[in-house]
Amino acid sequence: MIGKLNHVAIVVPDIEAGTATYRDTLGAAVSDPIDLPDHGVTTVFVTLPNTKIELLHPLGAESPIAKFLEKNPGGGIHHVCYEVEDILAARDKLKADGMRVLGDGEPRTGAHGKPVLFLHPKDFHGTLVELEQV
Amino acid sequence: MIGKLNHVAIVVPDIEAGTATYRDTLGAAVSDPIDLPDHGVTTVFVTLPNTKIELLHPLGAESPIAKFLEKNPGGGIHHVCYEVEDILAARDKLKADGMRVLGDGEPRTGAHGKPVLFLHPKDFHGTLVELEQV
């Protein structure tokens, strides 16, 4: 069912410092910081030859990653995102297998303008999993 | 400097259950569990079209991931591994930038039989980074 690893999301306490580490220290291609108010994050895309790293920092009072940063003030790896061809078929299969979809269970438009879902980390051995239809 | 994302390593509390989740629930291609006593882990390779997920479980009393599992009994994302062409050049550049290399600073042979180094998570915003020469 799952295809490519679309990205690894990493929460950083300072988006400028995080960007500098990936650009200057690790020598990767990075985007400018992009505010995504609908998702409550500022993100920087780090483009690797085969996938992306997304650096995330909370944006606004309701940011869904604010709690993660409170718990992990130094930052940390937040989730992995796998691509699927048909997100509704994937969701229905996962639900039939007893997996919990976060929120109301309906796909929403993700940071790339495509339908996404998040799956409960307790059902995936402690890993928050995002699915993105491509 | 960094090239491809070689793998994302995920520690799971039960390697059979973790394998089943990736194989049966997520529909990915998985290897048999492989004991790597020199590295203190049992690993299962999950092959995605563009990279790998490595499921890890402690093996032996001295496992380097035992402490992680104590802290995160449900499991969690442990590290990311980036490929580099020349690990000694990469190490020297990183050290010149003030980054800390774990252990004695010399590359050791990783789980794929290639030279690897681990970088201090505090220098990478809470993310444990492995570099592998390819």
Least Cα separation, residue A26 to chain B (angstroms): 6
* Domain boundaries, position B95: 5-133
**3-state secondary structure at position A110:** coil
Examine the residue annotation and report whether B130 is marked as an active-site residue of this protein.
yes
Q: Which of A1, A6, A26 to probe by mutation at the B interface, max B CB count within 10 Å?
A: A26
Mean pLDDT, residues B34-51 = 96
What's the CATH number where A72 sits? 3.10.180.10
* Predicted pLDDT of residue B25: 97
For residue B21, give the chain A residue with the closest CA.
A124
Task: Report pLDDT digits (tens) over A13-27.
Answer: 999 999 999 999 999
Using the predicted structure, report yes or no on whether residue B112 has a pLDDT greater than 90: no
Mind listing the pLDDT tens digit for each residue in A89-131? 999 999 999 999 999 999 999 888 999 999 999 999 999 999 9
**What is the tally of structural domains in chain A?**
1
Q: In angstroms, what separates the C-alpha of B92 from chain A's closest C-alpha? A: 11
- Distance of CA B116 to CAs A79, A98, B8, B94, Å? 24, 38, 14, 14
* B120 in reach of chain A (CB within 8 A): no
* Residue A94, CA distances (Å) to A39, A88, A105, A124 in order: 24, 10, 11, 11
